[in-house]
Structure 1
């Protein structure tokens, strides 16, 4: 396995770094976030292009460093095996899968949180309009849904989805399929574990974190369902290609 950086990975690294610098220096750090981060679709700041552009945005130095290290570490051997076209197909398909699962889960949470308000006679249109106009009236809403649920509702509506993590989780899953015997380890758990066990374990921890609200190894504001969505898409693409590798009408691994 040659870890000399591959061409597509190099260009993705450059784009991510340029976008991160732009986030810092353009518009007092707010303009890029306003344009290119992914907002909840019912938020007035949501724009369709954010579905793609958020994949090149990051929330801080640590965030981009970890993601770009993972992109180089796992993306390089995956691109070397698949080639640039199939690598990019996995990368962006995983990113889209991450968005779909995360936004779908956010809608599920959003609808659950506002259901007591709807039962009290408020319509979805009125709730969304109030949120887009500066927020719900705490003195009115707190007795109905409680302050913790109001905080959760605001986090969903006003929060931003940023980062290449969903894409990279798809590449990580592809790495696990291509190099199942490769030994990996976490920084805080320096025990070598084969990729075929390590990667499913990471995905399972992300899923548990999303459903329980408890973080095992990532910041509490991590979009865990995006990780799960990206990984599942990456795995199923690789599984499908492997299953059809002898079919002349399919790409051969």
Structure 2
């Protein structure tokens, strides 16, 4: 059997590498649970600022599996499917799962660091309502981990061409990742 051709008898799902497939499945299952009991799920598993009374240590991991709506999870999982499959196949499942969680944890650290700076500004300004809002608003989503997967793809294939749907522009992967970062900031 050729290296380039592998017969696939298990159907579509069997062609997805295991970590990517399981991350998508777990995210979808947790999203359904969130639809059923949103207040509990977001309040327990979303990432709160560390000095918030709602903060729990596990939230630095669990927030990566929470999503704020259908389009949020759809675009995150679509992006994970498109790029995660490729990155996982290249670096292997063990490295990919480690890479994914390191990216998600790094994003959580950046989020908390940004919130810390906001908190200091609110304290200096005596903005008690803003302080209360910051402490009671959770961060949810796999976006940090997903962006890490995009960066991984761009590092592996920097000149690979990618086309945006709107506006219809084709750029190399390295420039696409830089533009996405600029938009997010």
Q: TM-score, with normalisation over the residues of structure 2?
A: 0.87
Q: Which runs of 5+ in 2 are unaligned?
A: 6-11
Cα drift, residue 152 of structure 1: 4.2
Distance between the aligned counterparts of 1:11 and 1:108, measured in 2?
35
Give 2:58's aligned residue: 49
Give 2:76's aligned residue: 67
Give 1:94's aligned residue: 103
1:105 aligns with 2:119: no
1:160 aligns with 2:138: yes
Deviation readout 1:192-231 (Å, 9 max, x if unpaired): 1110211112112322xxxxxxxxxxxxxxxxxxxxxxxx
Give 2:16's aligned residue: 5
Deviation readout 1:59-108 (Å, 9 max, x if unpaired): 00110000000000110000010000111111000001101111011011
Cα drift, residue 155 of structure 1: 3.6
1:196 aligns with 2:169: no
Change (3 A) 1:46 1:9: same
User: Which residues in structure 2 correspond to 1:127-206 (within 5 Å)?
Assistant: 145=127, 152-206=130-184
Which among 23, 37, 43 is matched to residue 34 of structure 1?
A: 43
Distance between the aligned counterparts of 1:61 and 1:164, measured in 2?
13
Q: Which runs of 5+ in 1 are unaligned?
A: 118-144, 208-253
- Bigger Cα Rg: 1
Distance between the aligned counterparts of 1:71 and 1:155, measured in 2?
31
The alignment yields a C-alpha RMSD, in angstroms, of: 1.9
Deviation beyond 3 Å, 4+ runs, structure 1: 1-4, 150-155
Q: TM-score, with normalisation over the residues of structure 1?
A: 0.65
Change (3 A) 1:193 1:155: farther
Distance between the aligned counterparts of 2:124 and 2:174, measured in 1?
41
Change (3 A) 1:5 1:151: farther
Distance between the aligned counterparts of 1:165 and 1:96, measured in 2?
11
